[in-house]
Structure 1
């Protein structure tokens, strides 16, 4: 196994908000994607999801409020919790989920 450059992987993806699995650890997928300032619709999962902003920032809409997650910060979305991403979010996002 060799190191994975997450920023390069995200930049190589042809479309924003299209995630790519770069590996698995402890039964979880490690994904990367590129945010492009457009919004991402509301979704809900049966599993918890970790959203780690590598570069830029993400405006996460959850529980009727918007939380700005900055580079270097992670937000853990609980299983069953609806969430969306508001317009203006941009940069590289790492997602850890099932």
Structure 2
């Protein structure tokens, strides 16, 4: 697990993009849980950190592909899902396991 941000940097309803060991990471707080995904849209590899997060939906800034922020599943495209990384919170720090994607 690698520390990537302070918990206060990702308040509810916000997202944050970071690069960790050469991997683009997207932290998302869609409510009360922090999720971590690879920061890239399946369609054109565009960073989702540049898009919108509204009502629990991540929207790609390029062609508006939409993903459920809690599951990483594409809303209009069954079977498409963002690469997800395990997250742990310790002492108000967000830790991500980039080797443990699911």
Instruction: Report if TM-score (shorter chain) is over 0.5.
Output: no
- TM-score scaled by length of structure 2: 0.31
Greater relative contact order: 1 or 2 (C-alpha under 8 angstroms, separation 6 or more)? 1
